[in-house]
Amino acid sequence: MQKRTLGKSGLEVSAIGLGCMSMSSGYGPPADTHEMIGLLRRAYDLGVTHFDTAEAYGPFANEELVGEALQPIRDKVIIATKFGFEIDPVTGKRGLGTNSKPEHIRQVAEASLKRLKTEFIDLFYQHRVDPDVPIEDVAGVVKELIAEGKVRHFGLSEAGVQTIRRAHAVQPITAVQSEYSLFWRGPEAELLPTLEELGIGFVPFSPLGAGFLTGKIDEYTKFDPTDFRNIVPRFSPEARKANIALVELVKAVAERKNATPAQVALAWLLAQKPWIAPIPGTTKLHRLEENLRAVSVELTRNDLKEIDEAASRLKLEGARLPEAALKMTGR
Protein backbone atom coordinates (compact mmCIF):
# COMPACT_ATOMS: atom_id res chain seq x y z
CA MET A 1 0.00 0.00 0.00
CA GLN A 2 1.25 3.45 -0.91
CA LYS A 3 1.36 6.22 1.69
CA ARG A 4 0.30 9.85 1.38
CA THR A 5 0.84 12.90 3.56
CA LEU A 6 -2.16 15.11 4.29
CA GLY A 7 -1.03 18.57 3.25
CA LYS A 8 1.85 20.17 5.14
CA SER A 9 0.88 18.52 8.43
CA GLY A 10 3.22 15.57 8.24
CA LEU A 11 0.33 13.19 8.98
CA GLU A 12 1.02 10.10 6.87
CA VAL A 13 -1.86 7.79 5.94
CA SER A 14 -2.45 4.92 3.56
CA ALA A 15 -3.32 6.20 0.07
CA ILE A 16 -6.71 4.54 0.47
CA GLY A 17 -8.32 4.52 3.90
CA LEU A 18 -11.45 2.84 5.22
CA GLY A 19 -14.67 4.69 5.93
CA CYS A 20 -16.36 2.74 8.72
CA MET A 21 -19.84 4.34 8.81
CA SER A 22 -21.61 1.66 6.76
CA MET A 23 -20.65 -1.00 9.32
CA SER A 24 -23.07 0.57 11.80
CA SER A 25 -25.50 2.84 9.94
CA GLY A 26 -26.43 4.64 6.75
CA TYR A 27 -26.69 1.83 4.24
CA GLY A 28 -29.05 -0.52 6.05
CA PRO A 29 -29.03 -2.50 9.32
CA PRO A 30 -25.76 -2.73 11.28
CA ALA A 31 -23.42 -5.48 10.13
CA ASP A 32 -22.32 -8.33 12.40
CA THR A 33 -19.89 -6.93 14.99
CA HIS A 34 -17.60 -9.98 15.01
CA GLU A 35 -17.35 -9.94 11.20
CA MET A 36 -16.62 -6.21 11.14
CA ILE A 37 -13.85 -6.54 13.73
CA GLY A 38 -12.31 -9.13 11.45
CA LEU A 39 -12.72 -6.87 8.43
CA LEU A 40 -11.08 -3.91 10.19
CA ARG A 41 -8.11 -6.00 11.24
CA ARG A 42 -7.82 -7.52 7.78
CA ALA A 43 -7.79 -4.00 6.32
CA TYR A 44 -4.72 -3.24 8.43
CA ASP A 45 -3.06 -6.48 7.27
CA LEU A 46 -3.63 -5.28 3.69
CA GLY A 47 -1.93 -1.96 4.37
CA VAL A 48 -4.74 0.36 5.50
CA THR A 49 -3.62 2.69 8.28
CA HIS A 50 -6.38 5.34 8.04
CA PHE A 51 -9.75 4.55 9.66
CA ASP A 52 -12.62 7.04 9.68
CA THR A 53 -15.48 7.02 12.20
CA ALA A 54 -17.71 9.48 14.11
CA GLU A 55 -19.80 9.62 17.27
CA ALA A 56 -22.84 10.14 15.02
CA TYR A 57 -22.40 6.76 13.28
CA GLY A 58 -24.74 4.50 15.16
CA PRO A 59 -24.71 6.83 17.09
CA PHE A 60 -21.75 5.75 19.23
CA ALA A 61 -21.73 2.11 18.05
CA ASN A 62 -19.23 2.70 15.27
CA GLU A 63 -16.63 4.27 17.54
CA GLU A 64 -16.99 1.33 19.93
CA LEU A 65 -16.52 -1.11 17.05
CA VAL A 66 -13.46 0.69 15.69
CA GLY A 67 -11.99 1.03 19.18
CA GLU A 68 -12.29 -2.67 19.93
CA ALA A 69 -10.99 -3.76 16.53
CA LEU A 70 -7.96 -1.50 16.44
CA GLN A 71 -6.91 -1.61 20.09
CA PRO A 72 -4.25 -4.33 19.49
CA ILE A 73 -2.63 -2.20 16.75
CA ARG A 74 -3.49 1.25 18.09
CA ASP A 75 0.06 2.58 17.78
CA LYS A 76 0.21 1.61 14.09
CA VAL A 77 -2.96 3.29 12.78
CA ILE A 78 -4.56 6.71 12.31
CA ILE A 79 -8.06 7.05 13.75
CA ALA A 80 -10.23 9.96 12.65
CA THR A 81 -13.49 10.78 14.41
CA LYS A 82 -15.90 13.72 14.53
CA PHE A 83 -17.91 16.03 16.77
CA GLY A 84 -20.58 18.59 16.09
CA PHE A 85 -24.07 17.07 16.19
CA GLU A 86 -26.63 17.19 18.96
CA ILE A 87 -26.86 13.63 20.30
CA ASP A 88 -28.52 12.53 23.52
CA PRO A 89 -25.74 10.86 25.54
CA VAL A 90 -28.24 8.53 27.26
CA THR A 91 -30.59 7.42 24.49
CA GLY A 92 -28.16 7.89 21.63
CA LYS A 93 -30.84 9.68 19.63
CA ARG A 94 -29.48 12.29 17.28
CA GLY A 95 -31.22 15.65 17.33
CA LEU A 96 -31.88 17.78 14.30
CA GLY A 97 -29.22 20.38 14.96
CA THR A 98 -25.53 20.96 15.32
CA ASN A 99 -23.68 21.61 18.55
CA SER A 100 -20.10 22.86 18.51
CA LYS A 101 -20.13 24.78 21.76
CA PRO A 102 -16.66 24.51 23.29
CA GLU A 103 -17.88 22.66 26.39
CA HIS A 104 -19.74 20.18 24.16
CA ILE A 105 -16.65 19.56 22.02
CA ARG A 106 -14.72 18.70 25.19
CA GLN A 107 -17.46 16.31 26.33
CA VAL A 108 -17.48 14.58 22.95
CA ALA A 109 -13.69 14.27 22.96
CA GLU A 110 -13.69 12.57 26.38
CA ALA A 111 -16.51 10.21 25.39
CA SER A 112 -14.87 9.35 22.06
CA LEU A 113 -11.54 8.61 23.76
CA LYS A 114 -13.30 6.04 25.97
CA ARG A 115 -15.23 4.42 23.14
CA LEU A 116 -12.14 4.27 20.94
CA LYS A 117 -10.08 2.81 23.81
CA THR A 118 -7.31 5.31 23.18
CA GLU A 119 -5.46 8.13 24.92
CA PHE A 120 -5.56 10.43 21.90
CA ILE A 121 -7.53 11.08 18.71
CA ASP A 122 -5.31 11.34 15.65
CA LEU A 123 -7.67 13.52 13.61
CA PHE A 124 -10.67 15.31 15.12
CA TYR A 125 -13.13 16.77 12.60
CA GLN A 126 -15.99 19.17 13.09
CA HIS A 127 -18.67 17.05 11.39
CA ARG A 128 -20.72 20.02 10.17
CA VAL A 129 -20.20 23.74 10.68
CA ASP A 130 -22.34 25.14 13.51
CA PRO A 131 -23.85 28.50 12.44
CA ASP A 132 -24.34 29.48 16.09
CA VAL A 133 -20.72 29.09 17.20
CA PRO A 134 -17.88 31.17 15.66
CA ILE A 135 -15.44 28.84 13.94
CA GLU A 136 -12.63 30.63 15.78
CA ASP A 137 -14.08 29.31 19.06
CA VAL A 138 -14.24 25.79 17.63
CA ALA A 139 -10.65 25.93 16.39
CA GLY A 140 -9.60 27.40 19.73
CA VAL A 141 -10.91 24.53 21.83
CA VAL A 142 -9.43 21.94 19.48
CA LYS A 143 -6.12 23.81 19.78
CA GLU A 144 -6.40 23.39 23.56
CA LEU A 145 -7.15 19.67 23.18
CA ILE A 146 -4.06 19.35 20.99
CA ALA A 147 -1.95 21.13 23.62
CA GLU A 148 -3.32 18.70 26.23
CA GLY A 149 -2.33 15.69 24.09
CA LYS A 150 -5.91 14.45 23.66
CA VAL A 151 -6.04 15.33 19.96
CA ARG A 152 -3.22 15.43 17.42
CA HIS A 153 -4.76 17.00 14.30
CA PHE A 154 -7.74 19.21 13.47
CA GLY A 155 -10.12 18.71 10.56
CA LEU A 156 -13.32 20.13 9.07
CA SER A 157 -16.03 18.26 7.16
CA GLU A 158 -18.16 19.79 4.39
CA ALA A 159 -17.02 23.32 5.31
CA GLY A 160 -16.94 26.33 2.98
CA VAL A 161 -13.67 28.00 2.01
CA GLN A 162 -14.12 31.12 4.16
CA THR A 163 -14.79 28.98 7.24
CA ILE A 164 -11.68 26.95 6.42
CA ARG A 165 -9.53 30.08 6.17
CA ARG A 166 -10.81 31.47 9.47
CA ALA A 167 -10.32 28.21 11.34
CA HIS A 168 -6.88 27.62 9.82
CA ALA A 169 -5.72 31.01 11.10
CA VAL A 170 -6.41 29.89 14.69
CA GLN A 171 -5.35 26.23 14.52
CA PRO A 172 -3.76 24.81 11.36
CA ILE A 173 -6.11 22.34 9.68
CA THR A 174 -4.62 19.00 8.68
CA ALA A 175 -7.48 17.73 6.52
CA VAL A 176 -10.85 18.67 5.10
CA GLN A 177 -13.36 15.93 4.38
CA SER A 178 -16.09 16.34 1.78
CA GLU A 179 -17.86 14.29 -0.83
CA TYR A 180 -15.85 14.04 -4.05
CA SER A 181 -15.88 11.59 -6.95
CA LEU A 182 -16.63 11.42 -10.65
CA PHE A 183 -20.25 11.42 -9.47
CA TRP A 184 -19.85 14.72 -7.57
CA ARG A 185 -17.11 17.15 -8.59
CA GLY A 186 -18.24 20.24 -6.68
CA PRO A 187 -14.97 20.60 -4.69
CA GLU A 188 -13.01 21.37 -7.87
CA ALA A 189 -14.36 24.92 -8.19
CA GLU A 190 -13.20 26.51 -4.92
CA LEU A 191 -12.31 23.92 -2.32
CA LEU A 192 -9.37 22.13 -3.93
CA PRO A 193 -7.55 25.36 -4.94
CA THR A 194 -7.98 26.69 -1.40
CA LEU A 195 -6.64 23.51 0.19
CA GLU A 196 -3.65 23.52 -2.15
CA GLU A 197 -2.92 27.15 -1.29
CA LEU A 198 -3.10 26.52 2.46
CA GLY A 199 -1.34 23.15 2.47
CA ILE A 200 -4.32 21.15 3.76
CA GLY A 201 -4.98 17.51 2.87
CA PHE A 202 -8.25 16.31 1.36
CA VAL A 203 -10.16 13.18 2.39
CA PRO A 204 -13.00 12.44 -0.05
CA PHE A 205 -15.89 10.44 1.34
CA SER A 206 -18.31 8.59 -0.95
CA PRO A 207 -15.46 8.28 -3.49
CA LEU A 208 -17.52 5.65 -5.30
CA GLY A 209 -20.61 7.84 -5.44
CA ALA A 210 -22.30 5.95 -2.56
CA GLY A 211 -21.84 2.76 -4.57
CA PHE A 212 -23.14 4.06 -7.89
CA LEU A 213 -19.73 4.03 -9.62
CA THR A 214 -19.23 0.33 -8.87
CA GLY A 215 -21.63 -0.52 -11.70
CA LYS A 216 -23.72 -2.68 -9.36
CA ILE A 217 -26.65 -0.23 -9.11
CA ASP A 218 -29.24 0.56 -11.77
CA GLU A 219 -32.76 2.00 -11.95
CA TYR A 220 -34.24 -1.29 -10.69
CA THR A 221 -32.05 -1.65 -7.59
CA LYS A 222 -34.03 -1.81 -4.34
CA PHE A 223 -32.40 -0.40 -1.21
CA ASP A 224 -33.08 -1.51 2.36
CA PRO A 225 -35.77 0.69 4.00
CA THR A 226 -33.15 2.12 6.38
CA ASP A 227 -30.72 3.00 3.56
CA PHE A 228 -30.21 6.78 3.32
CA ARG A 229 -30.09 6.59 -0.48
CA ASN A 230 -33.86 6.17 -0.48
CA ILE A 231 -34.20 9.90 0.24
CA VAL A 232 -31.36 11.17 -1.97
CA PRO A 233 -32.62 12.83 -5.20
CA ARG A 234 -29.63 11.54 -7.18
CA PHE A 235 -30.68 7.98 -6.31
CA SER A 236 -34.28 8.21 -7.47
CA PRO A 237 -34.98 5.56 -10.15
CA GLU A 238 -35.30 8.30 -12.79
CA ALA A 239 -31.97 9.86 -11.84
CA ARG A 240 -30.24 6.47 -11.77
CA LYS A 241 -31.52 5.73 -15.25
CA ALA A 242 -30.24 9.07 -16.53
CA ASN A 243 -26.89 8.86 -14.72
CA ILE A 244 -25.98 5.34 -15.82
CA ALA A 245 -24.14 6.92 -18.76
CA LEU A 246 -21.37 7.95 -16.35
CA VAL A 247 -21.01 4.36 -15.16
CA GLU A 248 -20.78 3.17 -18.76
CA LEU A 249 -17.93 5.64 -19.31
CA VAL A 250 -16.05 4.31 -16.27
CA LYS A 251 -16.73 0.71 -17.32
CA ALA A 252 -15.21 1.35 -20.75
CA VAL A 253 -11.97 2.62 -19.19
CA ALA A 254 -11.97 -0.26 -16.69
CA GLU A 255 -12.19 -2.87 -19.46
CA ARG A 256 -9.21 -1.31 -21.21
CA LYS A 257 -7.21 -1.25 -17.98
CA ASN A 258 -8.19 -4.78 -16.93
CA ALA A 259 -9.69 -3.25 -13.79
CA THR A 260 -13.11 -2.82 -12.21
CA PRO A 261 -15.19 0.38 -12.40
CA ALA A 262 -14.62 0.96 -8.67
CA GLN A 263 -10.86 0.71 -9.13
CA VAL A 264 -10.91 3.21 -11.98
CA ALA A 265 -13.06 5.63 -9.96
CA LEU A 266 -10.61 5.46 -7.05
CA ALA A 267 -7.56 5.67 -9.32
CA TRP A 268 -9.06 8.79 -10.89
CA LEU A 269 -9.31 10.41 -7.46
CA LEU A 270 -5.75 9.45 -6.52
CA ALA A 271 -4.51 10.98 -9.78
CA GLN A 272 -6.05 14.39 -9.05
CA LYS A 273 -3.65 15.50 -6.27
CA PRO A 274 -0.91 13.76 -4.24
CA TRP A 275 -2.52 15.00 -0.99
CA ILE A 276 -5.89 13.35 -1.64
CA ALA A 277 -6.60 10.18 0.38
CA PRO A 278 -10.09 8.73 -0.21
CA ILE A 279 -11.96 6.60 2.34
CA PRO A 280 -14.28 4.16 0.55
CA GLY A 281 -16.46 2.17 2.92
CA THR A 282 -17.56 -1.44 2.73
CA THR A 283 -18.75 -4.33 4.87
CA LYS A 284 -17.47 -7.01 2.47
CA LEU A 285 -13.94 -8.42 2.37
CA HIS A 286 -13.88 -8.93 -1.40
CA ARG A 287 -14.91 -5.29 -1.94
CA LEU A 288 -12.20 -4.13 0.46
CA GLU A 289 -9.60 -6.10 -1.47
CA GLU A 290 -10.93 -4.79 -4.78
CA ASN A 291 -10.84 -1.17 -3.60
CA LEU A 292 -7.29 -1.40 -2.28
CA ARG A 293 -6.00 -2.76 -5.58
CA ALA A 294 -6.95 0.60 -7.12
CA VAL A 295 -3.51 1.91 -6.09
CA SER A 296 -2.05 -0.31 -8.84
CA VAL A 297 -4.29 1.08 -11.59
CA GLU A 298 -2.34 3.71 -13.49
CA LEU A 299 -4.30 6.27 -15.44
CA THR A 300 -2.20 8.13 -17.99
CA ARG A 301 -2.57 11.79 -18.84
CA ASN A 302 -4.49 10.72 -21.95
CA ASP A 303 -6.77 8.47 -19.88
CA LEU A 304 -7.57 11.34 -17.53
CA LYS A 305 -8.17 13.71 -20.44
CA GLU A 306 -10.50 11.21 -22.09
CA ILE A 307 -12.47 10.72 -18.88
CA ASP A 308 -12.77 14.46 -18.28
CA GLU A 309 -13.84 15.24 -21.83
CA ALA A 310 -16.43 12.46 -21.90
CA ALA A 311 -17.74 13.29 -18.42
CA SER A 312 -18.07 16.98 -19.30
CA ARG A 313 -20.61 16.05 -21.98
CA LEU A 314 -22.85 14.34 -19.43
CA LYS A 315 -25.51 16.11 -17.38
CA LEU A 316 -26.02 14.27 -14.11
CA GLU A 317 -29.51 14.35 -12.64
CA GLY A 318 -30.54 14.90 -9.02
CA ALA A 319 -29.06 16.67 -6.00
CA ARG A 320 -26.38 14.75 -4.08
CA LEU A 321 -28.22 15.12 -0.75
CA PRO A 322 -31.74 15.93 0.47
CA GLU A 323 -32.39 19.67 0.74
CA ALA A 324 -32.16 19.77 4.55
CA ALA A 325 -28.77 18.06 4.49
CA LEU A 326 -27.48 20.30 1.71
CA LYS A 327 -28.22 23.34 3.89
CA MET A 328 -25.65 22.04 6.37
CA THR A 329 -22.82 21.92 3.83
CA GLY A 330 -20.52 24.60 2.44
CA ARG A 331 -21.01 27.00 5.34
Q: Of 96, 94, 124, nearest to 112 (Cα)?
A: 124
- DSSP tally for the chain: helices H, then strands E: 11, 11
CATH superfamily of 3-326: NADP-dependent oxidoreductase domain (3.20.20.100)
pLDDT, tens digit, for every residue of 45-85?
A: 999 999 999 999 999 999 999 999 999 999 999 999 999 99
Angle ∠(154,99,283) on CA atoms, nearest 5: 65
Distance, CA of 35 to CA of 22 (rounded, Å): 13
pLDDT, tens digit, for every residue of 180-231?
A: 999 999 999 999 999 999 999 999 999 999 999 999 999 999 999 999 999 9
pLDDT, tens digit, for every residue of 169-189?
A: 999 999 999 999 999 999 999
Which pTM was predicted?
0.97
Domains in the chain: boundaries: 3-326
The residues annotated as belonging to the active site are: 57
